[in-house]
Amino acid sequence: MTEKTLVTWHQQTVKRERGCVVWFTGLSGSGKSTVANCVDALLQDAKANSFVLDGDNIRHGLSASYEILEPVHGEDFAKRFGLGFGAQDRQENVRRIGCVAEIFCSSGTIALTAFVSPYRADRDRVRELVTAPGEAKDFVEVFVDTPIEICEERDPKGLYKKARAGEIKGFTGIDAPYEAPLNPEVHLDGAKPVEEIAQQTIDFLKSIGKLS
């Protein structure tokens, strides 16, 4: 599809105020989803609006693969819209979830995203998308910094074992790069207890006025 589309932006009346995107990034097995869900529980306890957008869950729907789409929508559709794990597919996956997270943010919801999102340029594009003029605090990059040795020990999905055996190609941290954040708003030690590093994230949100 190359034809032009005639769409215009409709300005919303409700302001985002407490809304923001908290973008958890790190290697597979670093604890991103676990920390994000712990933060979500703490936010709910504090009566804040929040929602977790998890990498694996998104891959079941919004960013579904060819094999998920093909039985329902057919081969041509699945080839065009299904996503794998190559660099371009990862870029599109991050773009899609960035757009969804921005919608949550605009509604005043704290969107917690847990994605490997290995490329800085992709994460920076989401930051640019989410950050409204004068609202630099609307995007919070959280680096769950866990040594790959620990990630491999955890290996909750058995992916490292398969990657080391050559059964998976282009696996981040093994034979595909991970570009760690240079200046994340929050830098977490993924080897520490989940509750401790989740609280660090909560404390940062309080410090920027996103949580009372």
CA distance 102 to 81: 21
Two structure tokens written together for 59: 């891959």
Residue 117 catalytic?
Answer: yes
Catalytic residue among 33, 50, 63, 117: 117
What is the arrangement of strands in the sheet containing 110-114, beginning at the earlier edge strand?
Answer: 50-54, 110-114, 20-25, 139-145, 186-189
Distances (CA, A) of 20 to 68, 115, 148, 151: 31, 16, 29, 28
Q: Given CA atoms 201, 39, 98, 89 in this order, what sign does their dihedral have?
A: positive
> Known catalytic residues?
117
